[in-house]
Chains A and B, each alone.
Chain A
Amino acid sequence: NAGVTQTPKFQVLKTGQSMTLQCAQDMNHEYMSWYRQDPGMGLRLIHYSVGAGITDQGEVPNGYNVSRSTTEDFPLRLLSAAPSQTSVYFCASSSPSGGHRNTIYFGEGSWLTVV
């Protein structure tokens, strides 16, 4: 059972570099989202998607782009990394229907350091 898979698990970037965090789910979930977790904080929503081709901003969207071309994939792009984006990133998915409807499944996290 793969569930929600995030890559890479660890990444070090230099300020100004760009990169993409990959997220894939194999549960055919309509909803997907990205969160970041900073020290002493809970998770905060960056962007979310309710289906292929549809995305929207969460609480902390600045500096990040997303797209959803397929149901399975929801990549998060950092266009010009800044030290303030050093964080642990979580991808999540859920479905509004089915036996486990509305249960949010999380990936294992991606640790990003920007130096």
Chain B
Amino acid sequence: AQTVTQSQPEMSVQEAETVTLSCTYDTSESDYYLFWYKQPPSRQMILVIRQEAYKQQNATENRFSVNFQKAAKSFSLKISDSQLGDAAMYFCAYRSYSGGGADGLTFGKGTHLIIQP
């Protein structure tokens, strides 16, 4: 079974600065997907960014980018120019490639991101 570990229960950053959230995972599979989800106080699950393991290029979405290190099984999220609206819980998640991902996502425990004005 796969496991996902987020070692930072809480992070704090000043508005407009850059912050990096860490995620490591354990798997014996070679093909898989990795995701970062944002969960604001409303509890809505918002997809921030996704990475296919077979792609060497790191995914980027505007101010959000990842550092994907497949050999190290590391998948960190960098948020540039932090904004007050970025404050939320952030979850790292893993999904198997086999079976089309029908058996869902494995989540880490989350990192609570605080943005200081």
Contacts and interface: CB of A to CB of B under 8 A. Distances in A.
A42 B108 contact: yes
Interface string A56-73: 101000000000000000
B109 A41 contact: yes
Contacts of A37: 43
Contact of B103 (A40, A48, A88): A48
Contacts of B42: 108
A85 interface: no
B43 A58 contact: no
Interface residues of A, number: 26
Taking residues whose C-beta sits less than 8 angstroms from the other chain, chain B's interface range is: 20 to 34
A106 to B, nearest CB: 4
B33 interface: yes
B44 interface: yes
A101 B35 CA distance: 14
Nearest to B92: A42
A9 B4 CA distance: 28
Contacts of A41: 107, 109-110
B104 A109 contact: no
B102 interface: yes
Interface in A73-109: 88, 90, 92, 94, 96, 102-104, 106, 108-109
A102 B104 contact: no
A42 B35 CA distance: 13
Nearest to B47: A103
A112 to B, nearest CB: 13
Interface of B: 4, 33, 35, 42-45, 47, 50, 91, 93, 95, 99-110
26 contacts: A30-B102, A31-B100, A33-B103, A33-B104, A35-B105, A40-B109, A40-B110, A41-B107, A42-B4, A42-B93, A43-B45, A43-B105, A44-B107, A45-B103, A45-B105, A45-B106, A48-B102, A48-B103, A48-B104, A56-B103, A58-B104, A88-B43, A90-B45, A103-B47, A104-B105, A109-B43
